[in-house]
Structure 1
Amino acid sequence: MSLGGQPMSPRRHSVSVTEPVTTDPLWCEEYGYGLGRTGGILVLKYRSAGALEFGENRQDFLHQLYWSPDGMLSSRYGARTQFVGQREAFWAHRAVTHEVRAADRQTVYRLCLREVPAALGGLRAGAVSVNPEAARLIQAIARRTCDESEALAARTRIMAGLGPTTADFVGHHATGTGFALTVARALSHDPGDEAGLAEWAERLHVSVKTLQRDFEREFGMPYSKVRTKLRLSTSRVLLETRPVADVAHRVGYSSPSAFITAFTKEYGCTPGRYAGRGHEL
């Protein structure tokens, strides 16, 4: 990674692609700005026809941030597995061994840094909130038309737009009371949580009506539909390596048949055929 300070031409990287395909299985574009300096940043933009897997990864000199604008990420460090939604990223401090997975046809941005963002000091690894400006700027600097001065200015704002807590997450994204976003963040981390709307309302000390209204305001759909979409999005990351019955249980379905019905309605094919048709979805 000892590269020059200008945006670099797209370059291939050997990241595991679970599903073999006959066309280009993986594309990675690489952009480096101010590298070799504390204030530099390296951005790797991946997209694959099959599932992406960053397995048993460890960097002793660089901190890493993984973010996807269009799907869930599955992360593991130590004995802990956590799922990360589009409004969050997975942070790994240098020298922390970790794994990250994404589903097929999903874009993943991987930022490598020498400096720890101020809000993430002391965090070894875990899900962090990404505010809308930071999300926009991550995509903006991963292109050949971005010059170094613009990218380094954007890097400062990206780092300022990260936060590790639920309060940060709600503060970054809420347009309403924030209750619905608090629930959605918890569900994205653990989609198998079986709590219904009434139980969540009790946990948050609000009425069911208030919470449902906040879901409609934030997402334009009721709680049940938000939960279903999160569960199915998460299942796509898991299906490449786990049996359908195991995935159904992990994402909160009472039976494989209920999961198969919901998955087929959403994606147009059964989970059992997904590994073979994932690149067509």
Structure 2
Amino acid sequence: MGCDGGTIPKRHELVKGPKKVEKIDKNAELVARWYYCMLSQERLTKPIVACELGRLYNKDAVIEFLLDKSPDKPHADTAAHIKGIKSIIELNLSDNPAWAGGKGNTKGDKYDEQCAQFICPVVGLEMNGRHRFCVLRNCGCVFSERALKEIKTDVCHKCGAGFKETDIILLNGDKEEVEELRKRMEERRLKAKSEKKAKKPKAVESVSKPDQGEESPGSSQKEAEDTSFPRDKIDFVSTAKTQVDSQSSSSDAAAKSSSSCTKRPAPGSERKSEAYKSIFTSHNSAKRTKEQSSNWITHTAYYF
């Protein structure tokens, strides 16, 4: 608390007031947006790409993110809406002839980001964040918003490709502008999904229609042949076929019944001799009398 050696504490040293809100330096924020990749936080180098929300990335960093989408990576939330390589646009930028490649400030006597690497090819404004820039989604050419407003046309000023107002994407816009771009992105993706679903049944119908067309001429030819052939001959042929079929079926049934029945030997016409009959036990000679039968006391089968 003090008071040792004659010191007197003041009120601001004893009572802590509310913390002051830290203000972000606008120049530092512009440099972070326009000169560094939003995903890897490295300096932007060609090839540079932009997402459908207008954020700038290095193409290598986006490809690495698509190959490994682990949530543990830093700044992964800024690229969560990028689903594939088709979700990004490679920028066709115009180099600034006044840019020295970062080698001009060797003494450290001037601000590094005074000169931008790219400019607008129509108006000549530097792409340093102080001016609003747009990219055309179809061709990837980058222009300042002033150039697009002054020269109103549906053709790109650099490559001559056609575009619409919905194809213009504002780079590094405000929160409200980013929300509008997000709505456009969602509508565009829903439209693409609906078009894919509509194309699938059409492809199935196109495959089934030729098959139906091949069957129809055959049936018409058969009907024509039937009408050209006389009716009396048709009846005669049909009756002949039924008779032949019935005969063949009866012959098949007889063959099956004959094969299924057991073969029995035919009875002998000649009478057997007494010598032949005496072989069997049913003959009178094989039968024994009571005297010849075995006694119950003996163990032998026959006791005479």
Does the TM-score normalized on the shorter chain lie above 0.5? no
Max radius of gyration: which structure?
Answer: 2
Q: Taking structure 1 as the reference length, what is the TM-score of the superposition?
A: 0.24
Q: Taking structure 2 as the reference length, what is the TM-score of the superposition?
A: 0.23
Relative contact order, CA 8 A, sep 6+: which one is greater?
1
Q: Which has the larger share of strand?
A: 1
